[in-house]
Chains A and B, each alone.
Chain A
Amino acid sequence: GQNIDQPTEMTATEGAIVQINCTYQTSGFNGLFWYQQHAGEAPTFLSYNVLDGLEEKGRFSSFLSRSKGYSYLLLKELQMKDSASYLCAVRANTNAGKSTFGDGTTLTVKP
């Protein structure tokens, strides 16, 4: 079976740094995704990790530890537009389509 856990809600201040955690228990592992989803819109791809370590992409970074079944998404220099839901998703095999998603973390950025 697949189980993905992430906090339901987080609040942070504009300009600050926030870390959104994701833990997973899956019957196989072939990569972990992070998506951003604004209310009423489609998810947009942020990052993909398949090996342990940190992947940095501008203000966003994603970390993976396969042995711990753990990932985090780090958002730096928060902006108001970063207020959104952040979805963690794991694919158990090479098929990206058949990914299991967590329920998302709703991030609210306050002035």
Chain B
Amino acid sequence: DAGVTQSPTHLIKTRGQQVTLRCSPKSGHDTVSWYQQALGQGPQFIFQYYEEEERQRGNFPDRFSGHQFPNYSSELNVNALLLGDSALYLCASATGTSSYEQYFGPGTRLTVT
């Protein structure tokens, strides 16, 4: 049973560029949440997708957008990258939006230079 997978593992981008990160949820899960984790800090909630719609959103600018596909996989897009966007981006999956247990993927380490 595959767990949550994310790609790529690492990514280096330049300020102003755009990036797309990908997540495949754990088998049987239909809800995907995205988090940004800066070094030395806890994860911060970006948004959540369920039934191909954004259901909840944290305090992140519109430069952060996402998508969920019919197979429940998801993408996180960040436009006009800033140095401060450098972080570990975590994806977590669950069954429905009210399940208390969610499983995290290994993350994508994004470095913006």
Binding site for B on A (CB under 8 A): 4, 31, 33, 35, 41-45, 48, 50, 87, 89, 91, 94-104
Contact = CB atoms under 8 A, between A and B. Distances in A.
A89 B103 contact: no
B94 A42 contact: no
Interface of B: 4, 31, 33, 35, 40-45, 48, 55-56, 58, 90, 92, 94, 97-107
Contacts of A89: 42
B100 A96 contact: yes
7 contacts: A42-B105, A45-B102, A95-B48, A97-B48, A97-B55, A98-B56, A104-B42
B33 A97 contact: yes
A27 B25 CA distance: 30
Nearest to A88: B42
Contacts of A31: 100
**The 5 nearest A-B residue pairs measured at CB:** A101-B42, A97-B33, A42-B104, A97-B48, A94-B98
Contacts of A103: 40-42
Contacts of B102: 45, 96-97
